[in-house]
């Protein structure tokens, strides 16, 4: 899978173009920016499926300690 788009950081928009599973991509992006998934974003896969909500839910679950 390839996910492309952008997310907002404290320094402006960050472009995303990553390959792998959604979970692996989210983890890599989170390692680079601890706020990934908790800010405004528009990310989608190569078929146009929106992954923004999935990333937000993943990040919120991680922030809550996986509750």
Report the half-sphere exposure of 27 (CA within 13 A, side-chain side): 5
Confidence of residue 13 (pLDDT cuts 50, 70, 90): very high
| pLDDT bucket at 23, cuts 50 / 70 / 90 | very high
Question: Cα separation of 5 and 13, whole Å?
Answer: 10
Q: Given this model, what pLDDT does residue 66 score?
A: 57
Alpha carbon distance 29, 32 (integer Å): 5
Mean local confidence (pLDDT), 24-38: 94
Range 29-47 average pLDDT: 95
String of DSSP letters for 50-67: B-HHHHHHHHHHHHTT--
């Amino acid at each position: 899978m390839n996910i492309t788009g952008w997310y907002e950081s404290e320094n402006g928009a960050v472009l995303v173009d990553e390959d792998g599973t959604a979970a692996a991509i989210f983890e890599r992006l989170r390692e680079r920016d601890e706020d990934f998934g908790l800010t405004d974003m528009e990310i989608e896969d190569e078929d146009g499926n929106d992954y923004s909500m999935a990333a937000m839910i993943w990040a919120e679950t991680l922030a809550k300690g996986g509750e």
